[in-house]
A = this chain, B = another copy of it.
Amino acid sequence: MTLEKLGNLDKERKDAIINAALMEFATKGYDEASTIIIAKNAGISKGLMFHYVNSKKDLFLYLYDYSLEIILDDFWGSINMNEKDMLVRCRQIAFIKMELLHKHPQLFDFFQAAIYTDSQEVKIELDKKGKDIRGNSFHKLFENIDETKFKDNIDIQKAKDLIIWSLNGIADMLQQKVKGLTWEEINYDQLIAECDSYFEILRKSYYKEGGIENECDFSK
């Protein structure tokens, strides 16, 4: 979804509209979101806003693509896919996710609202896009992993699953601890330490013993 008129705007106004819309949709959901409030918070009249965006629906879908692009670009720009150690990559993912959450809190809030919206008007098209992402991006995350590090007596694919699920848990925990805090209030070192202690256990659990210290580099 592209909005020509909005795209050719000075950055300031464009951002004002986008931010106002993100916030409104994030807090109220699609149906309850009011176009007049968006316009007001963007500092323009409703009439002008509808001059830039053809309809509420288009604006919403535009925001979805826009947010997704920013987040995904940021994500794939941050992650080092040369790292073949599954656990180190997981560690990266956990922290990148946390950082993204802090860098773009509105975007994440918007996404949560977008995903759980019931509105028939946008749900179908949202589902379509969602499927693509989960299909495309997710399994890319764990491609090219060095499987020789895993213990021999376990099913490696299933072990990977378990690690991914554990990663989800760790990331959620991080997210909860960080929620609402400012960047300065966070004790980053402590967070890293706690996080690493979990990965340490995962390593002991799923990797072969020996050759640990030198092979597995936990530095970022």
List B contacts of A151 (CB < 8 A).
204
Among candidates B113, B118, B155, B169, residue contacting A201 with C-beta atoms closer than 8 Å: B155
- Given A155-B197, A197-B158: A118 and B170 within 8 A (CB)? no
Interface of A, helix, strand, loop or mixed by DSSP? helix
- Given A154-B201, A201-B155: A118 and B29 within 8 A (CB)? yes
- Given A169-B168, A206-B205: A118 and B162 within 8 A (CB)? no
Question: Smallest distance from the beta carbon of A35 to chain B beta carbons, Å?
Answer: 17
Among candidates B118, B154, B169, B197, residue contacting A27 with C-beta atoms closer than 8 Å: B118
A154 to B118, Cβ gap below 8 A? Answer: no
- Report if A31 contacts B (CB, 8 A): yes
User: A156's closest neighbor in chain B, by CB?
Assistant: B201
Between A28, A158, A205, the greatest number of chain B beta carbons within 10 A of the residue's beta carbon is seen for A205
A-B contact pairs, 20 of them (CB 8 A): A27-B118, A28-B118, A31-B31, A113-B118, A153-B204, A154-B204, A155-B197, A158-B197, A158-B198, A159-B201, A161-B198, A162-B166, A162-B169, A162-B205, A165-B168, A165-B170, A166-B166, A166-B169, A205-B205, A205-B206
